[in-house]
Chains A and B, each alone.
Chain A
Amino acid sequence: GESVGLHLPTLSVQEGDNSIINCAYSNSASDYFIWYKQESGKGPQFIIDIRSNMDKRQGQRVTVLLNKTVKHLSLQIAATQPGDSAVYFCAERNSGGSNYKLTFGKGTLLTVNP
């Protein structure tokens, strides 16, 4: 829980603002990407996913953008709320190797100030 946030990139926003969390991935063969949210003391929770043949996908208050040219993924959270405070991870699936493994980024700690 609380130890997960140590040494992580951090983002601090005001309640009601929009948040943008970024993730760089390294494998150009990755074909599927997922964003997870991890609250203190809990396991990661699925937020939204996107295939490599898409540039954008929207969910409820969240949008994921994929830029394959620069191998960059972002998660946008609209009207950020205190309950959004958590560590956010991106994950990529490499279609070139085993289809059963995801590689996770180190995460970003989002803090929402009331």
Chain B
Amino acid sequence: NAGVTQTPKFQVLKTGQSMTLQCAQDMNHEYMSWYRQDPGMGLRLIHYSVGAGITDQGEVPNGYNVSRSTTEDFPLRLLSAAPSQTSVYFCASSYSFNGWGNYGYTFGSGTRLTVV
């Protein structure tokens, strides 16, 4: 059981380049999300998905696209990288939040992205 797998772990991009951060989970979780983490800013939600074919914007969606064609995968695309997108990106998944129980997210180990 691998949990949440993110690739790559590190990436350096030039301004204007595009790339896709990969996220896969093997827990059959309905809910998946992408966060970015910057010093002193905590975790900020970029996009999230409540199931295959359904996505929505979070707090800081500009410059990023997502899709959810399968339950397992939730890739994050940077369309035209900018230095302001230098950050650590985390993917997280969980069962549905509708109801009670342990709905703590399972996080991936992160992707450190530098845009120069």
Asked whether any CB of chain A lies closer than 8 Å to the CB of B84, the reply is no
Known A-B contacts A4-B37, A49-B102, A49-B104; A44 and B97 likewise in contact (beta carbons under 8 Å) = no
In angstroms, Cα B97 to Cα A101, docked, is 8
Q: Are A43 and B110 touching (Cβ within 8 A)? A: yes
Q: Are A34 and B104 touching (Cβ within 8 A)? A: yes
Chain A 75-109 interface 0/1 with B at a Cβ cutoff of 8 Å (1 = within): 00000000000000100010000111110111100
Known A-B contacts A43-B90, A102-B105; A8 and B40 likewise in contact (beta carbons under 8 Å) = yes
Which residues in window 27-55 of A have CB below 8 A to B?
A: 32, 34, 36, 41-46, 49, 51
Q: Are A46 and B48 touching (Cβ within 8 A)? A: no
Chain A 1-12 interface 0/1 with B at a Cβ cutoff of 8 Å (1 = within): 001111110000
In angstroms, Cα B108 to Cα A20, docked, is 27
Interface residues on chain B, size class:
20 to 34
Name B42's contact: one of A3, A34, A45, A104 (CB within 8 Å): A104
A94 to chain B, nearest CB (A): 10
Q: Are B45 and A101 touching (Cβ within 8 A)? A: yes
Q: Are A43 and B98 touching (Cβ within 8 A)? A: no
With a cutoff of 8 Å between Cβ atoms, the chain A residues found around residue B45 in the complex are 101
Chain B 46-62 interface 0/1 with A at a Cβ cutoff of 8 Å (1 = within): 00101000001010000
Name A106's contact: one of B35, B40, B96, B100 (CB within 8 Å): B40
Q: Are A7 and B39 touching (Cβ within 8 A)? A: yes
With a cutoff of 8 Å between Cβ atoms, the chain B residues found around residue A7 in the complex are 39-40
Asked whether any CB of chain A lies closer than 8 Å to the CB of B107, the reply is yes
In angstroms, Cα B97 to Cα A34, docked, is 13
A90 (CB) vs chain B CBs: closest residue? B42
With a cutoff of 8 Å between Cβ atoms, the chain A residues found around residue B58 in the complex are 101
Can you name 8 extra interface pairs (CB under 8 A) apart from A44-B107, A99-B98? Answer: A5-B39, A32-B103, A43-B108, A44-B43, A89-B42, A100-B50, A106-B40, A106-B41
